[in-house]
Structure 1
């Protein structure tokens, strides 16, 4: 069961993948294929049980016009080696327009150098375009990479972290 319709994935990106790899929407079965471990090479994931993963998956699936998480799978190994998300925000500005926010772009260390990051970004940009986004943005981290993917620097992002709401931080205490 896919998080959203696979028809949103660009056929050009699918064709450009090396044989033995697939790019597709996140599926429930990806819990057992190392999805969280791959995310863990990007940031703190914490101890997420299968039940928690499935509950979050179902929540996201019921909002399949907002949350779009994709994965790259090494088919022979049945392992997730890359992932990324675009979250579609509904705005009042730009005529009640839509903005896509790219998040959590990651490739497993073993898969670096395969050009998967660029393919993940291209896929997420296309998903945003097909969903009517007037703009797609991403974090200021790794600016040269995003510039290669067609982004231009616009602003700087600020963040306010709330430790008592971060389950990963709380688990360490």
Structure 2
């Protein structure tokens, strides 16, 4: 049973979630697109292992989430959730850039890979990167950049 019972929005279609990556996760972990209620699951606390996140209210969270959802051909943020505790264990984002070069090619920039300290040592950061590379392939990226500052 999850702590968040309401219906929630996904940042992007779940067809971009790799079943192969999901199958490689330890039992009790699940790969998801960022969800509208991940604010309550500690998403921002996980990001804070990377840098200063700043103060967010549910209103500022919802505004940013809706902006990213509106531009869901650009922002693909994935999370791995500890399903037993309904908490975010890891996250990462791929930004999709549409270019004129390479006949209007598409490039993916992988960023903000973060793993909660209590979930380290389980290859969650690696699984996040694999999930984001799958999204890059599915969206037609000719090139993927790992602009990663990783702390896990």
Task: Decide: shared fold, TM above 0.5.
Answer: yes
Which residue of structure 2 aligns with residue 103 of structure 1? 111
Rounded Cα–Cα distance in structure 1 between residues aligned with 2:107 and 2:57 = 31
Rounded Cα–Cα distance in structure 2 between residues aligned with 1:138 and 1:50: 30
2:77 equivalent among 25, 48, 69 = 69
Equivalent pairs, count? 142
Please give the alpha-carbon distance, in whole angstroms, between the structure 2 residues aligned to 1:10 and 1:100: 16
**TM-aligned CA deviation for residue 62 of structure 1:** 0.9
Partner of 1:166: none
CA root-mean-square deviation:
1.0
Tell me whether 1:7 sits opposite 2:1 in the alignment.
no
Flag structure 1 segments of 5+ consecutive residues without an equivalent.
143-173
TM-score in terms of structure 2 length: 0.90
| 1:35-92 C-alpha deviation (Å, 9 max, x unpaired) | 0000001111000111101111001101111100000100111110100000000101
What SS does the aligned partner of 1:128 have?
A: helix
Q: Which runs of 4+ in 1 moved over 4 A?
A: none
Is the Cα–Cα contact under 8 Å of residues 111 and 148 in structure 2 kept in the other structure?
no
Matched with 2:3 is none
Given the superposition, is the C-alpha separation of residues 59 and 141 from structure 1 closer, same or farther in structure 2, using an over 3 Å criterion? closer
TM-score by length of 1: 0.80
Structure 2: runs of 5+ lacking an equivalent: 1-8
How do residues 42-81 of structure 1 correspond to structure 2 at under 5 angstroms? 42-81=50-89
> Is the CA contact (8 Å cut-off) linking 2:11 and 2:35 kept in structure 1?
yes
1:167 matched residue in structure 2:
none
Report if the CA contact (8 A) 2:112-2:148 is conserved: no
Note the 1:21-170 alignment, pairs <5 A.
21-139=29-147, 141=149
> What is the DSSP-based 3-state SS (H/G/I as helix, E as strand, rest coil) of the residue aligned with 1:73?
strand
Taking the aligned partners of 1:121 and 1:98, their CA distance within structure 2 comes to: 18
Q: Identify the structure with bigger relative contact order (alpha carbons < 8 Å, sequence gap 6+).
A: 2
Q: 1:51 to 1:140 in 2, by over 3 A?
A: closer
- Per-residue deviation, 1:139: 2.4
